[in-house]
Amino acid sequence: MDIEQALRDKIDNLTKPKGSLGRLEEIALQVGKIQNTLTPHLDKPCNILFGADHGIVEEGVTVSPREVTWQQMLHFAHGGAGINFLCNQHGFKLVLVDAGVDYDFPVEAGIIDAKVGRGTRNFLHAPAMDLTEWAVCVERGSAIVDQVHSDGCNIVSFGEMGSGNTSAASMWMHILTGIPLEDCIGAGAGLDKPGIQHKLKVLKQAWQNYSGADHLIDKLAYFGGYEMVMAMSGMCRAAALGMVVLVDGFIMTACMLAARALYPPVMANAIFGHQGDEAGHRRMLEAMGAKPLLSLSLRLGEGSGAVCAYPIVDSAVRMINEMDTFQVVDVTKYF
C-alpha cells in the first residue's frame, strides 16, 4: 500500500464520520505525504522575512517612502511589529534577511546580510536586476533555507518588506498568468483611486518598454525584487528538502507562482495561509487552483497571514496523531 492510501485509511478510520473534519483531513493528508509518514510532525517553525528596496518607487507607485523599508526591518529586529506578536504567539523563529535594502544595518541588529545591492533599478527605464544578480539571489535564498533546515525546522513561511514590491508582484502575476494588468494591481500600502490609476499607467508603460529576451527568467528578473527572488528560491529549496511551505499574501503568492513555473513539484508542499485584501490576490489564487485557509482581509505582508494560519495546520497534525481509530476503542464505526 502506498503512503497516500495508508494515510487516507488512517484518517477515514479516526473516531468521527468520514470527512467530518473537512480541511483538517486534507491538510493532514498533505503533510503526511510531504513527510512520507503516518505520524507527521511540525518542528521549529520559522518565518523568513526578506527585505529589499525597489527602484520603481521613484515613479510614485506607493504611499510608502523608500526609508520605510529599513525602518521597518529595524522595527522587526526590535520586536514590536505585527509579525513579531504572531511569531511569538505561535512559536515561530523570525529570521530577518537583508536581501537588498538601501541601508547599512548594524551587526547587533541580528539581520542576516545577504545584500545583493542597495535596491533594484527602476524597471520603467531599465531591468530591475540582471541575470547575475538573479543567480546570486537564488543562491542566497536557498542557503537561508538550508540554514533553518539544518537547525531542525521542517515548516517554513516567508515574508517580505520593501516599498514598491506590490508593483513588482503585479508584474510577475501578469507575466505568469496572462491576467490583464488592471486586474493585477491594487492599493498596496494604501493608494487612493487616482493613485491606483497612476500605478497602472506606470506599470503598463513599463511592460510596453520591455525589450528583453522572450524567456521567463529574463522577464521575472527585469521586473522583480531581490527579496522576491530569494523567497521564490527559498520556497523551491524548502520543497526539495521535504519541508512544509506556508504561503502568505499577494507578494508571496506571486513568488509561489514563479516557483511553480520554475519548479512545479513545489506546489505539493504549499499550504496557502490566507486570501488577502489586495485586489489581485483572489484572482491569482484562483489561477493557481489554490484554496486558502483564512480570509481575514489582511494586507500587511511580512508573513503575517501564513503564521496566522499555522494553528490550523497544527490542528490537522494533532488530529491524525492524537485521535483514536475505531480499531482501538469500543465505538461502533459511523458515517
Active site residue 302: yes
Q: Are 224 and 120 in contact (CB under 8 A)?
A: yes
**Assigned C-alpha cell, 30:** 498533505
| 157 neighbors 238 (Cβ within 8 angstroms) | no
Task: Kindly give the pairing relationship between strand 155-161 and strand 244-247.
Answer: parallel
What DSSP designation does 58 have?
G
Count of CB atoms situated within 10 Å of the CB of 254: 31
- What is the chain's length? 335
**At 155, is the secondary structure helix, strand, or coil?**
strand
The CA angle 97-304-299, to the nearest 5 degrees, is: 110
User: DSSP readout, 271-306?
Assistant: EE-B--SSHHHHHHHHHHT---SB-------TTHHH
Phi first, then psi: what are they for 325, rounded to 5°?
-100, 160
Which one of 25, 133, 227, 302 is the catalytic residue? 302
**CA atoms 233, 235, 236, 237: torsion sign:** positive
* CA angle 79–108–68, rounded 5-degree value: 55
Report CA-CA distances (Å) from 257 to 249, 264, 270.
12, 9, 11
Beta carbons of 294 and 308 less than 8 angstroms apart: yes
CB 316 within 8 A of CB 34: no
Q: How far apart are CA 309 and CA 311, in angstroms?
A: 6
Catalytic positions: 302
